[in-house]
């Protein structure tokens, strides 16, 4: 995962995702919590949602899901939704 500074259009850091398979890594979506403390990354090649601490820039959890998530959304109260491509987007 690459972190960009949008003011300078430059890379500020990278975060290695534990289940990412090098060139086969297929992250399809990122959602950031309302308070900015967490980012959730949908990584289809390993059927995983990674939870990142945005302050420490570390992966704090990896959650296995079925179907190769191809997107992610945060819904209140907070709820994470990763659509199943076989079933369409909820």
Q: How would residue 89 be classed by pLDDT, with cut points 50, 70 and 90?
A: very low
Number of structural domains (the chain) is 1
Report yes or no on 86 lying in a domain: no
Q: What is the mean pLDDT of residues 20-30?
A: 69
Structure tokens at 8: 């300078």
Report yes or no on 74 lying in a domain: yes
Phi-psi region of 60 (alpha: psi -120 to 50; beta: other; left: phi over 0): alpha
Report yes or no on 87 lying in a domain: no
pLDDT number for residue 90: 47
**Domain with 60 in it:** 18-81
Report yes or no on 8 lying in a domain: no
Report yes or no on 9 lying in a domain: no
Report yes or no on 7 lying in a domain: no
pTM: 0.74
Beta strands in the chain (DSSP E): 2-5, 10-14, 27-32, 38-43, 48-53, 58-64, 73-75, 79-81
Report yes or no on 58 lying in a domain: yes
User: What is the three-class DSSP state of 51?
Assistant: strand
Q: Summarize pLDDT for 57-79 with one digit per residue, the tens.
A: 899 998 888 877 888 888 777 66
């Amino acid at each position: 995962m690459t972190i960009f500074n949008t003011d300078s259009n430059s890379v500020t850091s990278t975060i290695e995702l534990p289940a990412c398979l090098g060139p086969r890594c297929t992250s399809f979506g990122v959602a950031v919590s309302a308070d900015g403390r967490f980012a959730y990354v949908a990584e289809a090649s390993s059927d995983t949602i990674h939870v990142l601490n945005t302050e420490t820039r570390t992966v704090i959890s990896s959650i296995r899901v079925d179907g190769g998530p191809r997107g992610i959304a945060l819904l209140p109260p907070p709820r994470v939704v990763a659509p199943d491509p076989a079933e369409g987007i909820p």
